[in-house]
Amino acid sequence: MSSNKCLVLVGVLVIILSGAAWAQDKQEQEATEVADYIIGPGDVLAISAWKDETLTREVVVLPDGKISFPLIGEVAAGGKTVAGLKKDVETKLTPFVPDITLSLMVKQVASVIYVIGRVNAPGRFPVNVNVNVLQALAIAGGCSEFARKDKIKIFRDEGGKTTIYNFHYDSVIQGKQLEENIMLKRGDIVVVP
């Protein structure tokens, strides 16, 4: 085989291996994002126990954040990650089913954020990964030409109290006041005047 053919073959192998490594990194990143998802009311969860059809079902997270599951009754699910809830359910089922292998996944996401005001595509947006303010603004098509970017506010209702966070767009995109680029929670409202 000539040296030119060898170089071409080596180049092709490098490209293939680089693509495979990139795809694996992307899958790991997506798995981490899903594992970090915070479960909340309205989410539909698929829970199944290996080799036990009676412990396989879909459950809806109730408005109080609880789910009901055979043998263990009500379990607090709201505010937990998928991995955290899986561990809790496994722990509660272990006295009834030793060495249980459980699978838990979010089948339908009910988590939404709202971006309203002077953005290009205001509305209600379902989210299944953690999203910060800049990402939410991007989802809503970015700020419109007449937006007052220094007056953006995030409204968060927790425990019957509303907390308001300020967001200064120009400062954040310049790398200043990065603490204002908070992670949004289910039901947060981003208002762009």
The domain containing residue 28 runs over which residues? Answer: 1-35
The reply to whether 103 and 116 lie within a common domain is no
* pTM for this prediction: 0.62
The answer to whether 40 and 50 have CB atoms below 8 angstroms apart is no
Same domain, 128 and 188: yes
pLDDT tens figures, 57-109: 999 999 999 999 999 999 999 989 999 999 999 999 999 988 888 999 999 88
Q: Considering only residues 15 and 181, tell me which one the structure prediction assigns the higher pLDDT.
A: 181
Please say whether the beta carbons of 96 and 73 come within 8 A: no
Read off the tokens for 96.
């009834």
Radius of gyration of the chain (CA): 23
Report how far residue 125's alpha carbon sits from residue 90's, in angstroms, rounded to the nearest whole number. 32
Number of domains in the chain: 3
User: Strand 189-192's sheet: what is its strand order?
Assistant: 123-126, 112-117, 189-192, 152-158, 161-167
Asked whether residue 47 carries a pLDDT value surpassing 90, the answer given is yes
Strands 52-60 and 44-49: antiparallel
Strand partners of residue 126: 112
Residue 140 has a pLDDT of 96
Same domain, 63 and 104: yes
Tell me: do 126 and 86 sit in the same domain: no
Residues 92 and 71 in one domain: yes
CA distance 22 to 20: 5
Could you tell me how many residues make up the chain? 193
CATH number at residue 73: 3.30.1950.10
Last-in-domain residue among 55, 76, 108: 108
